[in-house]
Amino acid sequence: MALQEHIAHILASMCTWLLRDVCKRSASQLPGVIALHVDSNYIEHAAAHLRDGSIVVCGTNGKTTTNNLIAQTLERAGFRVACNSVGANMPAGVAAALVQHSASDWASLEVDELSCATVIPALKPRYFVLLNLFRDQLDRVGEMDRVQDTIATALIASPATMLIVCADDPLSMAVAHRVQKAGNPVRYVGVSQTLPALIDRVPEARFCQLCGAKLLYHSRTYAQLGNFYCPSCEFKRPQLDYAARDISISEVGLSCIIEHTAPHTAQDDGARDDSPAQSQSHDVASSASSVQIHAAFSGMYMVYNIACAWSALSEVGVQVQYFEETLQQFHPQNGRLQHFVYKGMPIILNLAKNPTGFNQNISLLQQDTRRKHIYICINDNDNDGCDVSWLWDVDFERLASEDKPHLMCGGTRACDMRVRLKYAGFDSSLAADIDEALAACTAASADLSSYPLYVLTNYSALWPVKARLEQLCSNSDCKTA
């Protein structure tokens, strides 16, 4: 270890200890800031100490959940894993995770799309999982072509990195098209089943990424995802390496079969023979062409998250039993579909930060047949993006099928949210914080147990609401589900 790296690691480790053990605060960012300040190449230097390499998860929606599924399964399989599990996905967060887990076999890291420009060439991951690409935080991120170019350029700078891509997404496939031409290995993940016709719109990626013609679909899952093809050129969804089929989704969970259509061993791509799970990988790759998945999550987007997570783990060579055990015991504690119970009332907290993510939350609401309280909290802080015009791209009109939902709005842009709901045909009230929302729910319904509260927030609103719910649900009359 070079002197500069050594000093950076010592100072960042001390900061981690002070924050986490003395101050009882999160150490997900500041130690990384210190490490990178002392050694600007800290990520590259720390990555060299990883025994087996790293897996990066990227995309607009689903990064944290997918990354944590991968990390927890690797740990269950006997690996030591560095992970930014709370979602600190910019360079400082990546560096902080490497500081805290310096003697690891694997690093499983989620990385912000634009941060790929610096993180991927330094980290040179073994696998890069690209979940999806949607318009998000336009005032910070910019238009989609900037995001695509950033990711593709970063991957081309790391030519040994295997791209595991959601092949149902035309925007992600445009990245894969460039990366594969440059020589990176690619694996394709998607849904092979034809699902019932959808009522949601295709808000983006309506045109071919190569020639500009309007894309057509054999079938579609949600937003622009599906079995697409261009009638004017060769751009289309390719043959899938990992295909989800026999999908069943209800309000309490999902099941599906993930079929590996082109089996091969992790050793074929240069995996270490002496890794803890290497002796098990041959059973997965040679005999298990499909796996049956059951999970206590709902939503079509979770099918993609799970399929992409399993695809990466299969490439590593992890036995499916470890993934199944992780799914059975996986309880999100990061505000993503996190469940609480307050005085008998079920509460479901979830992130909703862009049109596609919000539309998927509406689909989840519609799968729950009970009457509902809905509290929408929208901020416009730096990490949210100041432009909230995206609210007009959300299909709130679909809530008309609900049985008189009780709608409340909060956050710094609560009034904007109320205006949007008014144009969708709904009355709503203001609730300054989650305490006011809970009080309004209690006043509106005598039977709290049959009238759940859905709390949908964007980034900066999520953590205060989550912290307050955890505080309230630590009381004797409350509990976390």
- Binding-site residues for Zn(2+) sit at 208, 211, 230, 233
Active site residue 387: yes
Between the alpha carbon of residue 412 and those of residues 215, 304, 376, 394, 456, the distances in Å are: 38, 32, 11, 19, 14
Q: Are 413 and 430 in contact (CB under 8 A)?
A: no
Secondary structure class of 197 (helix, strand, coil):
coil
Give the separation between CA 159 and CA 115, rounded to whole angstroms: 18
Secondary structure class of 73 (helix, strand, coil):
helix
Give the separation between CA 93 and CA 32, rounded to whole angstroms: 6
260 pairs with which residues across the strands? 242
Q: Which of 387, 393, 433, 435 is catalytic?
A: 387
Spell out a b/e string for 210-231, using b for 16 or more CB atoms within 10 Å of the CB, else e.
eeeeebebebbbbbbbbbbbbe
Q: Are 171 and 205 in contact (CB under 8 A)?
A: yes
Between the alpha carbon of residue 280 and those of residues 69, 77, 131, 284, 288, the distances in Å are: 19, 10, 27, 7, 12
Catalytic machinery residues: 387
